[in-house]
Amino acid sequence: MVKEFLKCNSIRERIQFLANTVLKDWDASELDTVMDIMGLSKEGMEAPEDKISAIEKYLADYKHEVEMRGGIDGSRVDSIPAKDQGSTLFEGPSEAEVVSKMLNPFSKGQ
């Protein structure tokens, strides 16, 4: 079971793998190995149910953390200093200048 668990490439695959297995398919040493690989403490977790629950919780928490990091942090966006109202990020000609140039391509005022 450990080899199959480690073949999973993503957290989502590992969660799905655990969901599709039956607890009796795992032996205690396999659960201990997975917990060691993931850096989880086995303290106070004698029952296989406790171990598998700890593994599932770790994976779910990690998945949630990754998803949250992938989003936008509103507080960081709010702390970005505002530019002057009259200026833009684009430093080229204004829209009016572009349209004027298109309508009067041979004018020398441009």
Residue 39 backbone zone (phi > 0: left; psi -120 to 50: alpha; other: beta): left
Among 1, 5, 21, 22, which Cα is nearest to 59's?
Answer: 5
Q: Mind listing the pLDDT tens digit for each residue in 21-52?
A: 888 888 888 999 989 988 888 888 888 889 98
Residue 84 backbone zone (phi > 0: left; psi -120 to 50: alpha; other: beta): beta
Element (H, E) at 97: helix 95-103
The answer, yes or no, to whether residue 9 has pLDDT greater than 70, is: yes
Contact, 55 vs 35, CB < 8 A? yes
Tokens of 72: 């936008």
**Averaged confidence pLDDT in the chain:** 81
What DSSP designation does 39 have?
Answer: T
Question: In the chain, what is the greatest distance between 2 CA atoms, to the nearest angstrom?
Answer: 86
CA 1/CA 6 separation, integer angstroms: 9
Q: Compute the half-sphere exposure of residue 72: CA atoms within 13 Å on the CB side of its CA.
A: 5
Question: What is the model's pLDDT at position 100?
Answer: 84
pLDDT band at 15 (very low <50, low <70, confident <90, very high): confident
For the chain, the straight-line distance linking the first and the last C-alpha, in angstroms and rounded, comes to 73
